Amino acid sequence: MSEMRKQSVDMRAIRIAPPDNLKNIWVILKEPQTPGNIGSTARAMKGMGLTRLILVNPVPGWRESDQPWTFACWSHDILHNAIEVESLDEILGEIHLLVGTTHRRRDPRLPEIIPAREGAKRIAGISRHHVVGVMFGREDFGLSTDDISRCHLCLSIPMAVRNPSLNLSHAVAIIAYEILMASLEDIPSPALDLPPANDLEALTDRITGLLKRTDFRPANENWDTLLYSIRRVLTRAQLERRDIATLHLIFAHLEGFIRRRMRPKGV
């Protein structure tokens, strides 16, 4: 039976209509290492109503491999429409909420980590009016500390073993299912005007730049730790566009004050 014929026959035991907010949820694979996992991810997405796949620096030549197309089954459209970028920065301007996935223990420098089911409810509400990116790390060691620090929220799948491990596409399937189920509920959309994620990155850069100009020295000269802490403060505050504008206005005033103080006398 052809792929088109398979899709035309509805074999579902329980029928549901994909909610509209699922169009605003992007699945982001950070540096996927095997073509097969890309195909299996597409299959998991399609079954849960998700259609937008972003690949950040994927394994070279994956489109030419037979594996993704075989493993995707009837989800070839997701592979055809998958967007490839070299770095996460290229898409932050289009995402309002960046969600990471991890099995790491809680680190005070990093964003809040909550169970996937609880996080799915937040995603369902925010995605009604904003774009949400759900990011998964590479197969061997997941997301880096820097990747996680960029996220506004982190999800973890509770498991019954001390050393949890899931195949990449299995993790995508579980979280996508939780998002689908949450999206079918009557979850209110928060009245927020969220900025693109790159606006928060720009604000973070401005804060660290201002600190360096005032000869600020972080503990142990560790600027990375300070950067992670600043990102965590900004993401926990859930700043809106007008909040970002207000902070930039304040920092612009401070930068002007510093310039005037540093100007040589008589100039």
Range of the domain at 94: 19-183
Nearest to 68 by CA among 33, 17, 34: 34
Q: Which of 126, 148, 183 is the last residue of a domain?
A: 183
Based on the fold, state whether residues 25 and 151 are members of the same structural domain. Answer: yes
What distance lies between CA 172 and its chain's CA centroid? Answer: 13
CA dist 70 and 172 (Å) reads 18
State the DSSP code for 167. Answer: -
- Looking at the structure, do residues 143 and 203 belong to the same domain, yes or no? no
Half-sphere exposure of 205 (CA within 13 A, CB side): 6
**Domain boundary pick from 122, 154, 183:** 183
Domain's final residue, options 128, 158, 183 = 183
Claim to verify: residue 34 and residue 69 sit in the same structural domain: yes
Residue 5 lies in a domain: no
Under-50 pLDDT residues of the chain: 1, 5
Same domain, 153 and 44: yes
Residue 117 lies in a domain: yes
pLDDT of residue 177: 98
Q: What is the number of structural domains in the chain?
A: 2
Confidence at residue 1, expressed as pLDDT on a 0 to 100 scale = 43
Q: What is the DSSP letter of 32?
A: -
Q: Are residues 208 and 243 in the same domain?
A: yes
Q: Which pLDDT value is given to residue 3?
A: 52
Between the alpha carbon of residue 129 and those of residues 19, 23, 193, 240, 252, the distances in Å are 13, 10, 9, 13, 31
- Name which of 197, 190, 189 is nearest 244 in CA terms: 197
pLDDT 10s digits, 99-139: 999 987 767 778 889 999 999 999 999 999 999 999 999 99
How far is it, in rounded angstroms, from Cα 159 to Cα 165?
9
The answer to whether position 138 is within a domain reads yes
pLDDT of residue 237: 85
Statement to judge: residues 49 and 142 lie in one domain? yes
Q: Residue 110's closest CA among 219, 205, 220, 231?
A: 231
Indicate whether 125 and 233 sit together in one domain. Answer: no
Phi, psi of 136 (to 5 degrees): -120, 140
Q: How far apart are CA 39 and CA 37, in angstroms?
A: 5
Q: In what order do the strands lie in the sheet with 25-30?
A: 83-85, 52-56, 25-30, 132-136, 97-101, 153-156, 113-115
CATH code, domain with 149: 3.40.1280.10
Residue 11 falls inside a structural domain = no
In this prediction the pTM is 0.89
Task: Determine how many CB atoms are found less than 10 A away from the CB of residue 219.
Answer: 7
Q: What is the pLDDT of residue 106?
A: 65
